[in-house]
Amino acid sequence: MQATIESVHLGAVAVIKQESFQDARGFFTEVFREDQFKELGLPSHFVQDNHSGSVKGVTRGLHFQWEPPMAKMMRVTKGEAFLVAVDIRKGSPTLGQWYGRIISDNSRLQIYAPAGFARGFSVISEYAEIQYKVTGLYNGGAESGILWNDPEIGIEWPVENPILSDKDARAQTLREWLNSPDSDNFIYDPKQDLV
């Protein structure tokens, strides 16, 4: 079964499509194959798998980590959710721009966003589960977030009154992040781009 990059956004955010076999019994797909990911220019070494479940309207993010740098490969395994990535790399030609897409368990698409992007999601079905592979182990001392509705970014979320954690509701703006010394951990490098 072959994995392909369906599309690339903001230079480095990729939508991954996997072939699947389906019959009357159900389906089978290869979610990750090291050789194919290497061939596509995607990370082939992930160190942690995360799995979250949320009710309709829950919005999580926009999260990121700089030490160690953490890329994410996100997919929806139950329900439907809007997955989003925002470029927060200093000097990037797409700094502050976002890409978002509604992904469902039926589409079986994945979205890859490298370190230097803040990621999040919003649940639009009654309940959804999101799984994501990451390239760095979690470090609470070197992670942060960007305010989900920062007007400078202008994400068009599919929910009007999201359910937020206190931490996400109090997150910094993109401008505050860029003015912090920690933002120097994400400097644009064109070698990161997939196109």
Per annotation, catalytic residue among 9, 63, 99, 188: 63
CATH number of residue 173's parent domain: 2.60.120.10
Residue 192 in any domain: the answer is: no
Residue 165 in any domain: the answer is: yes
Which H, E and C letters describe the chain, residue by residue? CCEEEEEEECCCEEEEEECEEEECCEEEECCCCHHHHHHCCCCCCCCEEEEEEEECCEEEEEEEEECCECCEEEEEEECEEEEEEEECCECCCCCCCEEEEEEECCCCCEEEECCCEEEEEEECCCEEEEEEEECCCCCHHHEEEECCCCCCCCCCCCCCCCECCHHHHCCECHHHHHCCHHHHHCECCHHHCCC
pLDDT digits (tens, 9 = 90+) for 62-121: 999 999 999 999 999 999 999 999 999 999 999 999 999 999 999 989 999 999 999 999
Average pLDDT over residues 120-137: 97
pLDDT digits (tens, 9 = 90+) for 140-181: 999 999 999 999 999 999 998 999 999 999 999 999 999 999
Per annotation, catalytic residue among 99, 112, 132, 188: 132
What total of structural domains would you count in the chain? 1
Q: What is the span of the domain harbouring residue 50?
A: 46-186
Q: Quick check: is 51 catalytic?
A: no
Q: Quick check: is 112 catalytic?
A: no
pLDDT digits (tens, 9 = 90+) for 22-54: 788 887 877 788 888 888 889 889 999 999 999
* pTM for this predicted structure: 0.93
Residue 60 in any domain: the answer is: yes
